[in-house]
């Protein structure tokens, strides 16, 4: 390899005084003093969550309080890191929503495995699982990071339902054979 000698440019007078550089630096500092702040006083202050944000997956109820999940296990099947584990069960005949027939006995989502991809929400045929705005999980043990069914409903709450598919089905049943 040939060695190329590069000649260093001599500094100008202004550069030698170092004053313009100090002023330019201070301008940046002063700008930040008066600008709107980017940082938040977390956790007292929380950022605004944009729509479509994918937070912690949760289970939701419909406005009538019916648990929407029917434990079809499609989310368990589609989940890439296998974070979801469902034990399906049957709704007893005397329950108010007996006509739905099927509901999860147990529903666990391991948040140490979850990658927040939203595939479960996308695949759900009953619109029962949603990645909502909760984003921070904390705990002292691995077990605390496994959200069970009760916790998932607590996180999920109630979402408006557009379809009321099962309610329509029940009312059709009550009216009898109708064309």
Partner 1 sequence: MNVVESMPPPPKPDLITVNIDGRDVAVPKGTNAIEAARLVGVDVPFYCYHPKLSVVGNCRMCLIEIGMPAVDPATKAPIMDPATGKQRINWIPRPQIGCATNASPGLHIRTNTPQIKDCREGVMEFLLINHPLDCPICDQAGECKLQEQATGYGRGYSRFIEQKVVKPKRTQLGPRVTLDDERCILCSRCIRFCKEIARDDVLGFIDRGSYSTLTCYPGKKLTNNYSLNTVDICPVGALTSTDFRFKMRVWFLKQTNSIDTESSVGANTVVWSREGIIYRITPRRNDEVNDTWMSDSGRELYKQVRSSDRLTAIRVNGIDSSLDVAVQAAAELIRASAGAVAVVGSGRSSVEEQFLTHKLAKLLQAPAGIVSRVGEGDGILISADRNPNVRGALVTGLIQGLPQPKLERLAAGIDAGTIRTVVAINEDLVAAGLTPAQLAKVAIVYLGTHVQPTTAAARVVIPTLTVFEKSGTFVNQQFRLQKFAKAVPGPAGASDDLVALSRLLAALGGGAIPSEINALWSLMAEEVPALKTIAFGRVPATGLQLDPAPWAGLPYVEGETLHYKPAP
Which chain residues interact with partner 1 by CB under 8 A?
Answer: 70-74, 76-77, 88-90, 93, 99-102, 125-126, 165, 169, 172-173, 175-179
Shortest reach from residue 106's CB to partner 1, in Å: 13
Q: Nearest 5°: phi and psi at 109?
A: -120, 120
Task: Report how far residue 23's alpha carbon sits from residue 16's, in angstroms, rounded to the nearest whole number.
Answer: 14
- Closest distance between partner 1 and the C-beta of residue 121, in Å? 15
Minimum CB separation from partner 1 for residue 81, in Å? 16
CA distances from 83 to 50, 66, 77, 127, 156 (A): 25, 24, 10, 19, 17
Cβ proximity to partner 1: between 44 and 174 the closer is: 174
Q: Given the complex with partner 1, which of 64 and 105 has the nearer CB atom?
A: 105
Q: Rank residues 135 and 167 by Cβ distance to partner 1 and give the closer one.
A: 167
Integer Cα distance of 108 and 130 in angstroms:
14
Cβ closest to partner 1, residue 34 vs residue 93: 93
Nearest distance in Å: CB 134, partner 1: 25
Which residue pairs from 93-96 have beta carbons closer than 8 angstroms and sit at least 24 positions apart in sequence? none
Q: How far is the CB of 104 from partner 1 (least distance, A)?
A: 10
Nearer to partner 1, 84 or 114 (CB): 84
Regarding beta strands 129-131 and 84-90, do their DSSP bridges make them parallel or antiparallel, or are they unpaired? unpaired
Please name which of 172, 173, 131, 123 lies closest in space to residue 152, comparing C-alpha atoms: 131
Burial of 128 (0-12, 13-18, 19+ CB in 10 A): buried
Residue 153's nearest CA partner among 36, 22, 65, 84 is: 65
């Amino acid at each position: 390899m040939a060695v190329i000698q590069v000649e260093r440019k001599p500094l100008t007078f202004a550069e030698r005084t170092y004053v313009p550089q100090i002023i330019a630096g201070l301008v940046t500092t002063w700008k930040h003093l008066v600008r709107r702040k980017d940082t938040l006083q977390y956790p007292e202050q929380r950022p605004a969550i944009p729509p479509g944000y994918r937070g912690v997956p949760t289970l939701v109820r419909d406005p009538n309080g019916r648990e929407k999940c029917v434990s079809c296990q499609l989310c368990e099947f589609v989940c890439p890191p296998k974070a979801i584990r469902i034990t399906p069960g049957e709704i007893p005949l005397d329950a108010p929503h007996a006509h739905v027939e099927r509901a999860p006995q147990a529903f666990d989502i391991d948040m140490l495995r979850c990658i927040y991809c939203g595939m479960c929400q996308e695949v759900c045929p009953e619109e029962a699982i949603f990645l909502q705005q909760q984003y921070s999980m904390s705990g002292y043990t691995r077990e605390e990071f496994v959200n069970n069914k009760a916790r998932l409903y607590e996180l999920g709450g109630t979402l408006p339902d557009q379809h009321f598919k099962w309610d329509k089905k029940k009312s059709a049943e009550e009216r009898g054979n109708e064309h």
